[in-house]
A and B are shown apart, each in its own frame.
Chain A
Amino acid sequence: MSFLGGAECSTAGNPLSQFTKHVQDDKSLQRDRMVGRGPGGMQEGMRSQQMGGGSNEMMNEFMQQPAQLPQGHGPASPFALEHMRRELERLDQAQHQRSGSPAWAAEFDPGMEAPQAMGPGMQERPAGFSPAEFAKYQQMTPNARTASPTVNAPMGYQRPMGFGGMGMNGMGMGGMGMGMGGMGMMHQPYAPQNFQQPMQDSGKGKGRMVELDDHDWEAQFAQLEKTDQHQHLDALDAEANAHIEAELNEMDRSVEQEAVDFGDFESIWKGIQAETEHARQLANEENFVDGMHMGDMDQWEGFDGLNTHSASDPPFSDYLPEQLNPFTESVNPFEDGVKIMEEGGNLSLAALNFEAAVQKDPQHVAAWVKLGEAQAQNEKETPAIRALEQALKLDPSNLDALMGLAVSYTNEGYESTAYRTLERWLATKYPSLLKEPLSSDADMGFTDRHLLHEKVTNLFIEAAQLSPSGEQMDPDVQVGLGVLFYSVEEYDKAVDCFGAALASTESGTSNSSLQVHLLWNRLGATLANSGKSEEAIDAYSRALSLRPNFVRARYNLGVSCINIGCFTEAAQHLLGALAMHKFIQSEGQEVVREMAQKNGFSEAHTNDLIQQNQSTNLYDTLRRVFGQMGRRDLADIVGPGMDVDKFRGEFEF
């Protein structure tokens, strides 16, 4: 539809000039192409259907005009049968020659439909000779001669030519409904030209004969014809311009419509961005972001409960120590705890010691960090996050706390926070690498999250490049990178990173003897989540051989056993992990409940309090194992406060 340009439109607006141009140009070439083609797909033209309606009119037209025929250009007498017979022969010829119309049509694309439609009309003619056809025939033949002096020129060929020109013309103006419209037009130039038929008549005839998609356009064309005939070119231009303008306006309107739609989308988009800042409201917008990778954002819902920056839910934002802590009276609980950790003792005991330590001295950063680490290893993610956040409040640049927190956030699915925490870690350890200010809490959109991940990953890669290659790389940087890859499910890369950290001879926090079991567990978890459960089990075994009481590794081992279908083993590992928690259960819960009732907390709140230092994760997973084993009876017993020993009969742990 490149014809829409105004200039083209108006100069080409004279159909006659187009007509002659086409008729006189390179006919031989096109005729050649048409020869020898089989008549295909031309049977369903609209000509034959539409002829009926217009036929009487046509006949009338013809009858009104005969006197003028001699003035025409035909050499023969107007009504001679002889002439007609000759023309019929030519029609036959034309029929053959026209048969190649598809190729021809391809060249004159806009007019394509009409020439094809012509075919049947032409073909039918020799068989039956209705008055209408006769009239039409008379209209056409002189014209054919006028247009082209060559007597042998196939009529059917010329007509489409002229028509093609007009079709294109119309295209330029209206851009629509060419083929159909063109059909009707055809007769107009012929009629006025050869018979000097009054315009309105032809208008009527045309109106009936042709079914137009676009009646406006047709009328417009009729007017153009009239003005054209009287050489009112200015008027023609004006008309054309007016029509173009109308068309353009219409297009504009549709574009505007789209623009409006787009505007809608934009506002929604902005809305979403605003929403992400208030993560809690996000779910309301869910429908708009269905198509995008948005699912994980849901997890931000209720995140405020964990976020220390939000004061909305204090009971969840602060670490809630166990109520019944036998170590509160000990002289130096922190050192006791550290000792338990180093010896690979019971993590619950260690945690209780650190709790006692921070109760004695809430400013004891190291105790908070250790508490967080102990809880994380004890498969108690939520308390771990609270403790580590507390440590960061006291000391924002504590590397251990930052790394531990990043890992915990990743486990819990708080990716953006994990990325920012890693960024802070890097900014603390490699301040020279950071060229921009740290990312703020505000930008939480999903695209932002992706960018943030990219940015932090690049920073870590730069940091990794700072140290010499090979075994001297900073293992902590590798761990950070591993966590970053893990969180976007690039497990292969993450495995490489954790493997590199394990292989590194450079001493860092993460591969120190105190933490190397964590590294094995991380490697195992990455392998497990990438579907390599068997290799993962190997890594977990390494971790557990270093620290038999490493509850998280035991839990992970159980998970991998589930994933390879060894449910009994899975149950044993999970029960074993729960047994290590047992120390702090039983009475402790009663104390919490009593205290809650004293303070008038609601039932739900009380349950939250009881569960907040529990590992719901372990219970859920165990329940799931029993479910998959088909042991609903066992699954129903599983829950906080259950007696692990009940399962001793069936499972060894």
Chain B
Amino acid sequence: MSLKSAAIPSSVAFDAISASLSSSDADRKDAIKKGGAIFAFTIKNGDKTESWYIDLKETGTVGKGAAPEGKKANVTLVMSDKDFQALIDGKANAQKLFMSGKLKVKGDVMKAQKCEPILKKARAQSKL
């Protein structure tokens, strides 16, 4: 089951995050502990807009839509496809995007700060 959307190229990242969360129990538990919330991402590419969620409250899963069924996202991050890609690549910083108005946060801003380490999971980390 792929979470990717053709309209939003950067959405590959959700597959990557999903893969990293499901590949290691320890990782998933760690992510749930660090995240502790349901993060929703609304990503715009041109006139297309789609949403994904990362549930780091209970299940540690990623899915399409603004929130898991019957639940509500604690925080929703709205940004463009390009900015999301930059965020995933580590070329942009969520705080800077937020300051420059490229990233909009609905809901608990404090929680939003926790999502950066989560997004890093989209990239496997190299070792020195």
Give the complex CA separation of A526 and B16 in angstroms: 21
Q: Which of A549-564 contact B (CB under 8 A)?
A: 552, 555-556, 559-560, 562-563
Contacts of B110 in A (CB 8 A): 290-291
Contacts of B24 in A (CB 8 A): 616, 620, 623-624
- Complex: chain A residue closest to B12, CB-CB: A565
Residue in A379, A410, A562, A616 whose CB lies within 8 Å of B124? A562
Q: Which of A514-569 contact B (CB under 8 A)?
A: 521-522, 524-526, 528-531, 536, 552, 555-556, 559-560, 562-563, 565
Q: Is B100 an interface residue (CB 8 A)?
A: no
Give the complex CA separation of A599 and B34 in angstroms: 36
Contacts of A630 in B (CB 8 A): 2
The winner among B15, B125, B126 for most chain A CB atoms within 10 A is: B126
Q: Is B27 an interface residue (CB 8 A)?
A: yes
B127 touching A411 by the CB < 8 A rule? Answer: yes
Q: Which of B1-33 contact A (CB under 8 A)?
A: 2, 12, 15-16, 18-20, 22-24, 26-27, 30, 33
A410 touching B19 by the CB < 8 A rule? Answer: no
A555 touching B127 by the CB < 8 A rule? Answer: yes
Residue in A283, A531, A555 whose CB lies within 8 Å of B91? A531
A298 touching B15 by the CB < 8 A rule? Answer: no
Q: Is B49 an interface residue (CB 8 A)?
A: no
B128 touching A407 by the CB < 8 A rule? Answer: yes
Q: Is B107 an interface residue (CB 8 A)?
A: no
Residue in B18, B113, B117, B126 whose CB lies within 8 Å of A627? B18
Contacts of A620 in B (CB 8 A): 23-24, 26-27
B126 touching A298 by the CB < 8 A rule? Answer: no
Q: Which of A393-435 contact B (CB under 8 A)?
A: 407, 410-411
Residue in B16, B123, B127 whose CB lies within 8 Å of A525? B127
Contacts of A560 in B (CB 8 A): 126
Give the complex CA separation of A621 and B124 in angstroms: 8
Q: Shortest CB–CB separation between residue A332 and chain B, in angstroms?
A: 31
Contacts of B65 in A (CB 8 A): none
- Complex: chain A residue closest to B108, CB-CB: A290
Q: Which of A473-489 contact B (CB under 8 A)?
A: 483, 486, 489
A559 touching B124 by the CB < 8 A rule? Answer: yes
Q: How many residues of A contact B (CB 8 A)?
A: 45
B19 touching A529 by the CB < 8 A rule? Answer: no
Q: Shortest CB–CB separation between residue B107 and chain A, in angstroms?
A: 13
A559 touching B126 by the CB < 8 A rule? Answer: yes
- Complex: chain B residue closest to A290, CB-CB: B110
Contacts of A621 in B (CB 8 A): 23, 124
Q: Shortest CB–CB separation between residue B96 and chain A, in angstroms?
A: 13
Give the complex CA separation of A262 and B79 in angstroms: 36
A291 touching B127 by the CB < 8 A rule? Answer: no
Q: Which of A623-653 contact B (CB under 8 A)?
A: 623-625, 627-628, 630, 635
Q: Shortest CB–CB separation between residue B4 and chain A, in angstroms?
A: 10
Q: Is B50 an interface residue (CB 8 A)?
A: no
Q: Is B114 an interface residue (CB 8 A)?
A: yes
Q: Is A295 an interface residue (CB 8 A)?
A: yes
Contacts of A407 in B (CB 8 A): 128
A529 touching B33 by the CB < 8 A rule? Answer: no
A529 touching B126 by the CB < 8 A rule? Answer: yes
Contacts of A528 in B (CB 8 A): 126
Work out how many contacts link A and B, with CB atoms closer than 8 A: 87
Q: Is A237 an interface residue (CB 8 A)?
A: no
- Complex: chain A residue closest to B125, CB-CB: A529
B15 touching A628 by the CB < 8 A rule? Answer: yes
Give the complex CA separation of A489 and B89 in angstroms: 13
A536 touching B126 by the CB < 8 A rule? Answer: yes
Give the complex CA separation of A283 and B30 in angstroms: 12
Residue in B19, B33, B91 whose CB lies within 8 Å of A298? B33
The winner among B16, B34, B124, B127 for most chain A CB atoms within 10 A is: B127
Q: Is A113 an interface residue (CB 8 A)?
A: no
Residue in A379, A524, A559, A627 whose CB lies within 8 Å of B19? A627
The winner among B89, B116, B125 for most chain A CB atoms within 10 A is: B125
Q: A291-B110, A295-B34 are in contact. Are A624 and B20 (CB under 8 A)?
A: yes
Contact with B along A301-319 (1 / 0, CB 8 A): 0000000000000000000
Contact with A along B94-128 (1 / 0, CB 8 A): 00000000000000001101101100000111111
Q: A381-B127, A529-B126, A628-B15 are in contact. Are A283 and B33 (CB under 8 A)?
A: yes
- Complex: chain A residue closest to B92, CB-CB: A531
Give the complex CA separation of A80 and B10 in angstroms: 86
A525 touching B90 by the CB < 8 A rule? Answer: no
Residue in A293, A298, A381, A559 whose CB lies within 8 Å of B34? A298
- Complex: chain B residue closest to A559, CB-CB: B124
Contacts of A635 in B (CB 8 A): 22-23
The winner among A563, A616, A621, A635 for most chain B CB atoms within 10 A is: A563
Give the complex CA separation of A273 and B30 in angstroms: 23
Can you sample 30 A-B contacts with CB below 8 Å? A290-B110, A291-B110, A293-B113, A295-B117, A298-B30, A407-B128, A411-B128, A483-B128, A489-B90, A524-B126, A526-B126, A529-B125, A531-B90, A552-B127, A555-B127, A556-B126, A556-B127, A562-B124, A565-B12, A616-B24, A616-B26, A617-B127, A620-B23, A620-B26, A621-B23, A623-B24, A624-B16, A624-B19, A624-B20, A625-B19
Q: B residues touching A (Cβ–Cβ < 8 Å)?
A: 2, 12, 15-16, 18-20, 22-24, 26-27, 30, 33-34, 36, 89-91, 110-111, 113-114, 116-117, 123-128
Q: A residues touching B (Cβ–Cβ < 8 Å)?
A: 283, 286, 290-291, 293, 295-296, 298, 379, 381, 407, 410-411, 483, 486, 489, 521-522, 524-526, 528-531, 536, 552, 555-556, 559-560, 562-563, 565, 616-617, 620-621, 623-625, 627-628, 630, 635
A286-B36, A529-B125 given; name 8 further pairs at CB < 8 Å.
A290-B110, A381-B127, A489-B90, A555-B127, A565-B12, A620-B23, A624-B16, A630-B2
Nearest first, the 10 closest Cβ-Cβ pairs linking A and B are A627-B19, A525-B126, A623-B23, A624-B23, A620-B24, A528-B126, A559-B124, A531-B89, A628-B19, A290-B110
